[in-house]
Chain A
Amino acid sequence: MDGIKVLHTGDLHLGMSFAGSKLPAEVGRVRRQELWETFDRIIDTAKAEKVNLLLIAGDLFEYKYCTVSDIKRINDRFARIPETKVCIAPGNHDPALSDSLYNTCRWEQNVHIFRKSRVSALRIEEYNTTVWGLGWDKDCIADPLLESFRAKDDGINILMAHCDVVPGGSVSNYLPVYHEQLAGSGVHYAALGHIHKGGEIKQGGKKVGVYCGSPEPLDFGEVGTHGVYIGTVGRNNCGVNFLPVAKREFVTERITADPTGDTATILKSMEERIKKYGQANLFRFSLEGGTDPGVELDTAYLERTIEAFHIEIKNNTFTGYDLDAIIEEGQRSIMGAFAARLLEQLDGESDPERRAVLERALYIGLDALNGRKVMGR
């Protein structure tokens, strides 16, 4: 065989909570379901493309949330591709701890799990291939466990790990792997997981590994198109390419608010962006710039008005008081005295949380002194 067909994925986080992503529960529920749909698409792709190896580089599911029923569901999908060997290297979100579902559930015959945090080999004679892998079996791995690894077998060698590829000597609690180690590992393809953005890892201009990225983006930090890597790995050639499979994208956009609080212009800007990316995506708009005193942007109205799968509006505008002028008036006015006192405190404050309180206090006070109803954020 000239090469084997692989599908490299990972970081699916099936069953995860979107609490960290600040998504509402109803959106979280839909997204959880969509993670399963994406998993199904990956399985369907593996079947349609007659993939020899399905490489899952960790964080297939969430240790905390995944249930036995979920594992049955996962196994059911693996059973649909009996001709494909499924290799799993557990990650930090689904470590193969003693009570992990990796250890307490029965897995399909075509599934191999690298349960230990030391490199072991899975020899597949049929493909003249050795898959080297290691999985998380504890909560923290700070040792560079691939330090002395070098693929020894003839044939095709593939490495799997859920790790943090860092420059040599760097410290990481997420299984640090140095670029040099990957370069010297002697494998023909390093299927890695952990970095949700995904992408190729290069050392000296040469590709030494691939982060599959999360096939379905999980929060607003994971913008752009997401998918899997699929292609052929051979001794002399490696043609593995990115294939988008994500159902939705996370989009973050900044919009400068009209100082007068004119929502029409904001809406127009948002609609333009939504049109550009598509309504099926999740949008986070950050409203920025100064607004006139007394102007309060009705973000709830904006969220209600715009149509997209999920809209999130962060009101990062600030009231455009001319603080310098106010302070200058301070000699004669309570407003100046008030502003001066708070600005003095702000100057001496380094704690960001306290600074946020003081800044907010400044604008609350100024609004109140100007006889304006204080509006909450």
Chain B
Amino acid sequence: MIIKELYIKSFGRFADRSFKLGDNLNIIYGLNETGKSTLHQFLEAIFYGFVKPGVKRRVMTDQYDKYRPWTGNLYGGSLVYQIDGRLYKVERNLEKGRESVRVFDGVSGEELTGSLGYDRLRREVLFAREHLGLGQAAYKNTVSISQLGSKSDADLVREIQTRLGSLGSTRDASLSVGRAERLICEFLDGIGTERAQTKEYGRLYRKAAELEEDLEEAATAVESVRVSGRQLREMETEAAKLKAERERLERKVRACEDSTLLDRWKGIKRLMEECESLSARLEECSEYRGFDPAESGELSTLGQLADQDRRETQRLRSKVEETSRDIEEAEARIAKAKDEGLVPARSRFKAALGLCTVSAVAVLGTSLMAASSGNPSLNILLVPLIALFFYLMVRVVRQRKLLREREGALRDLVTERQYMERYRKDLLYSLSEKERDLADRQKGISEILKGAGVGSMEEFRDKTAGFERYTRLKKCLEQTEKMLEIRLDGENPAVLKESAKAIVEAAAAGGTVTSGAIGATEIPAAITASAQDRRERLAGWKKRLQQIREEEVRLLGSMEKIRGGMETLEKATSDLPDLEEDLSRARDRLRQLKLEREAAGVALETLREASDGVHREFAPALNRKVTGITSRITGGRYTDLRITTDLKILATAPETGRRVEAQVLSGGTVDQLYFALRIAASEFLSGDRKLPLILDDCFVQYDWHRLENTFAYILEEARERQIILFTCHDRERKVAEALGGVYNYLILE
């Protein structure tokens, strides 16, 4: 590509100016502020306009205003260039709102704009991309080379290293992977991590953790409140049941107590009436109050003994009379036994004995006769005689036995009479003894009666009985009064009477008494129950009532405790929504930051991968080219230039033969290195297109020798490609002249 002609309608300081360029080296000379940079910028503006590169819409760069025409308003111009032998003319109007680009065939004048690419978003005809094969960024790296901005040698080296690194890894000296990495790392650092507590992520992470803890506590509190609520509800139900039962029991107890009060009143009333009655009766016996019944015991004993003696005397007399009669009867029986029993029995015995003796004689005689006679008939007679004898013998034995019995009976009767007589004698003795005792006792009684001033035992007894009645009544009255006192237990009977009256009246009215709730239906039942039954029931009810009251107190205490706990817990739970909201926002922000971190990480990783890829492809060739160019422009002084992967530029110093870092080289040499670098990059990027090379005051720091060496290279290069050199010095022209170079020389004024 060869730029043939520039025509500036209006651009910066220029208006209606044409510049014709040569095909090889063009030296455009001008002092400061004569428009070198303006011309340089005009070229770029014609190719790319003032539209921001890489932006998806038409946005003007700051340069637009910077190069607005000082005079006139036809902001723009045209350019004629040649590519592959064909001439093109580009006209561009840069004025906002009227921007236009038109491309023509430089020979026929045919407009070619429509056949070229068009960026609708940025409203740009893409002729430069087609004709130069470069985007704006690449154009800046390839076609245009300006001087380095750094002043000190050290800064210069660093700048070269940076740009070298950028070119090596990005193919764009304006881009820096290192810087991009640093920016991303700064961004990541700004976000921080979980552990970096001063950074946003760490702060939020810690806050979220704290909120989660608080939330967990609040959630636990909520659950506790819920559990407490259930417990409270159950307790309330239980309390209601207990209350109902208590009230029922209280009514029963009250009814029972009323009934008991009524009973008590009845008892007290009865005792009071009894006291009155006893007092009246005691008054009636008041005459016996002074009687001394001290001898009444002795008198009574004597009286009793006298009575006993009297009764014994009487009994003994009767017994004596009875015994006398028995003796008389016994004598009669003895006489009768003698006369009617013993005498006849003795007679019959004697008779029997006589007959027996006769018979015995007869037998004997007969026997003797028989024996003597031998008359058997006598023997026959003998048999009846013997039989008679034995018969008579039996009669004798029987009569004798009878006689003995009658004699024995008579003896018994006699013995009995004798015993009776002795007994009567004893009786008579006892009788006399008793009669004497009786007389003694009667004497004692008389003395006592006399001493008591009474005439008789009856009178004494009456008076004693009167006194005893008086005493008994008095004692009874005292006991009754004591009982009354106990029953009353310090209460005023009149008050009791009124209470009882009220109960009865209320019961009769079917209502309740003012002192308590006694159910109308419960009074009769309570009143009608037996006292024992009532006592038992009452004891049972009171016991249960006491249990209920204790249970109620315990339950109410527990409920109060739970309510208190719930109030405290509910205060804790009131923060729950706030905590959730805070946590939700913290988590959202954490998610966003996490995404940012992850994205930054991905960007960093991708950047490094892309950089490594570009570096692998581009850096070695770039190194070779830079070394070759450096060798040529330093007159073979630095032939062994090496750029390490950590961007150190190493060169072998010809004086010592030692490899040294660029920092130790002179500023001019470093400037040469930079020039070599840019030329190499330009060649590398433009490929075989042979694009023009624009050098903007690149040799300011060069001494004559270096300038010569460099220009030797430039003049050689200018044979292959157009070179446009802007300079504010005349040295470049002189060097070119000195080297016999061909060049086109333009002066800006």
Contact = CB atoms under 8 A, between A and B. Distances in A.
Are chains A and B native binding partners rather than an unrelated pairing? yes
Nearest to B169: A334
Interface residues of A, number: 67
Given A332-B138, A371-B183, A337 B613 contact: yes
A358 B232 CA distance: 56
A364 B59 contact: no
Q: Considering residues A98, A357, A358, which has the most beta carbons from chain B within 10 angstroms of its beta carbon?
A: A357
A321 interface: yes
Interface string A325-356: 11011001111011001100000000001001
A19 B580 contact: yes
B598 A357 contact: yes
Interface in B510-561: none
A374 interface: yes
A236 interface: no
Interface in B135-175: 135, 137-138, 169-172, 175
A332 B171 contact: yes
Interface in A238-272: 259-260
B230 A104 contact: yes
Contact of A334 (B121, B134, B171, B566): B171
Nearest to B577: A17
A259 B232 contact: no
Contacts of B583: 19
A333 B606 contact: no
B581 interface: yes
B180 A365 contact: yes
A333 B53 CA distance: 13
A305 interface: no
Interface stretch (A65-73, A145-153, A171-179, A183-191): A65-73
B582 interface: yes
A335 B175 contact: yes
Interface stretch (A24-32, A108-116, A154-162, A201-209): A24-32
A368 B184 contact: yes
A105 interface: yes
Nearest to B569: A67
A18 B595 CA distance: 24
A94 to B, nearest CB: 13
A307 B175 CA distance: 43
B172 A18 contact: no
B225 interface: yes
B122 A19 contact: no
Contact of B55 (A293, A329, A373): A293
B176 interface: yes
Interface in A271-307: 290, 292-293
A338 B56 CA distance: 18
A361 B581 CA distance: 29
Interface in A4-36: 15-20, 22-25, 28-29, 32
A107 to B, nearest CB: 12
B588 interface: yes
Contact of B603 (A23, A292, A368, A372): A368
Given A334-B610, A364-B600, A377 B577 contact: no
Contact of A326 (B54, B129, B609, B614): B54
What 9 A-B pairs have minimum CB-CB distances, sorted nearest first?
A: A334-B170, A17-B577, A19-B584, A360-B599, A374-B187, A361-B602, A365-B603, A368-B180, A19-B580
Interface of B: 52-57, 59, 119, 121-122, 129, 134-135, 137-138, 169-172, 175-177, 179-181, 183-184, 186-187, 190-191, 222, 225-227, 229-230, 232-233, 236, 566, 570, 573-574, 576-585, 588, 592-593, 595-596, 598-604, 606-607, 609-611, 613-614, 685
Given A259-B57, A376-B187, 18 more contacts: A17-B578, A19-B581, A19-B583, A24-B581, A68-B566, A292-B55, A321-B54, A322-B121, A325-B53, A325-B54, A334-B175, A334-B607, A335-B54, A342-B602, A364-B599, A368-B181, A371-B176, A376-B191
